[in-house]
Structures are given as C-alpha cells and as structure tokens.
Structure 1
C-alpha cells in the first residue's frame, strides 16, 4: 500500500470497518454521483471485494485515516473492465465533512505513485460527467480527459495517465 502522506495513512479494510464504511457509502452526499447510496449489506460486500483484491492483486481500496486515526474514507486501486479492456482505476471517497480539504487529491496521488512504483504505466479514473469535484481530483493527480464511455448503463468520462 502507499506510504503515509503528509496528512494521511493507508491500511487494509477489515470487517470491523463495517460501521464506518456503511456510513461513508450510505451517505447521500458522498454517493451523490452513484445511482443511490449503498446499504449496510452492500458496504459489507464492498469490504469483501476490497479484501479479494488484496489477496489477488496485492492492492485494492484502502481505508484512509488522518494521523490522529480519524476515518477519512477510502482510496486505492482496482481493476475495472471498461470498453472490453481491464484497466487499473484509482478510486476515492472522502467523508462529507472532510471534503474540500484536498484529502482526496492527496490520497489519490499517493495511490497513482504506488501504481507507478509497481510498474503500472496506465492508471484511469472513471467519473460521472457532472462530478466536478472528482474530475478536479483526477486532474490534480496528473490524469487527463481520455474519452467518454458508458459503464453500468451510466455515462462516464475517463481520465487517464500513461
């Protein structure tokens, strides 16, 4: 996983993170650009999906915490199938009351750097077109608009680096 940043640390998700992840993924503000917030059962499935990624790939979405141990959200790398191709995506969610502090950009930059250190040349971000904040994060970490596409029957923009 990425090393600590100026303000954040990364760690693997565990089942004990269910309450925090259910609050994060169930928050209508955080999930405004998804079809709907996730249920508690879906948050548990999210944790299990991340843990399968750790076992299979050595990475996934990690819990991000501030240096005081406060839960900030999740950020990491996951394989996504888009337009018939598997691509490595950097993804991020920050709790609503910490949005706007640059924490998503800080975490995403660390994850992109981590991917590059492991020899990954291309990293993408899949974003809903109207999600201006997420698009700004992608741009701040050096990703550029690559194309438009459709994922899960939703229009998306794809940012890429490499």
Structure 2
C-alpha cells in the first residue's frame, strides 16, 4: 500500500510520529483520564514503544497513528489507521486519543473524519472502530464519521462494539 497521511482540516494537521514526540505522547498516554478505557495508563517506556510501533506501521503498511496538532503547532493527540483483528477478522481501524484539556471540542471527530477520507483515498475497503461498550463518547465519534455498529465482541476481557463502514 502507498504511504498515506491525512491532509489538513479546518483546525488540524497531521504528521508522522518521531522520537522527539516522547514527552507529549508520554503525557497523553500516561493520563488516567485519556486512558480510562484501557487496562491502565502507559509508562514513558510504553509510550516509546507506541512510537516504535507506529514507525513500523508507517514502514510496513504506509499508515499508522499520526501526531495531531493545531495549525499553530499545539499538540492535540494522535489519530490514525492501524490493522486490528477482532474475532478472526482483520480490518483497518481508525483510532484516536485527545488530550483531556481539549476533549469535547470536536477534535477527535475532525481528525477521525480526515483519517477515514485518507483511508478511502488509499484504497482501504473497510474501516472499523473497536470501541469499549462503556465508552459512549468514542462511540459517538465513530457514528459521526459514518460508521455503524457491526457486531459486539469480548476482547482482553472487556465488551467491545465494532463499528464499521465499507469505503470502496
């Protein structure tokens, strides 16, 4: 697959992660509020692993999670596309994390919509969002970008709602 990065939106721009993003990502992924629907917040070492994972994703798949910033360079969070498997079905998933101070302002929806559009342009046929059943805010983001509930599953001991849409 060709390398893809979402184009800028009205308020946001996207770029690949690099090691210089460790402080911002460690703060984001270490924030208990941001990571409330994960098993636990990530340590600084795990945040570096997150960067390394995304660098591999860019090289192997042409996409991953990107750093999301405002046009003046303020760090918003990360958002992007990764391969995920649920119940033996492997699809490209859109995922997103927004700094607690910036939540509720539509940044996740704006970023996820840009990633959906980039996925479509890159030839991705199906896009999903795997959202914990109790994460209503994230479910709303998935719905606002045109994904509908496809199925429910249990992964890593939690109930997950799989939202999806055909892009092709």
1:91 corresponds in structure 2 to: 95
Number of aligned residue pairs: 162
Post-superposition shift, 1:153? 2.5
Pairwise mapping of residues 1-162 of structure 1 onto structure 2 (< 5 A)? 1-162=5-166
| 4+ long deviations beyond 2 Å | none
Using the alignment, how far apart are the partners of 1:65 and 1:119 within structure 2?
A: 25
Using the alignment, how far apart are the partners of 2:52 and 2:123 within structure 1?
A: 26
**What secondary structure does 1:5 align onto?**
coil
Deviations 1:10-66 (A, max 9, x none): 000001100000000000110011111111111000000001000001100000000
Give the TM-score normalised by structure 1. 0.98
Using the alignment, how far apart are the partners of 2:89 and 2:163 within structure 1?
A: 15
Give the TM-score normalised by structure 2. 0.95
Unaligned runs of 5+ in 2: none
Post-superposition shift, 1:86? 1.3
Unaligned runs of 5+ in 1: none
Stretch of structure 1 that moved more, 46-55 or 143-152: 143-152
Using the alignment, how far apart are the partners of 1:85 and 1:121 within structure 2?
A: 14
Stretch of structure 1 that moved more, 145-154 or 116-125: 145-154
Cα RMSD between the aligned structures?
A: 0.7
**What secondary structure does 1:27 align onto?**
coil
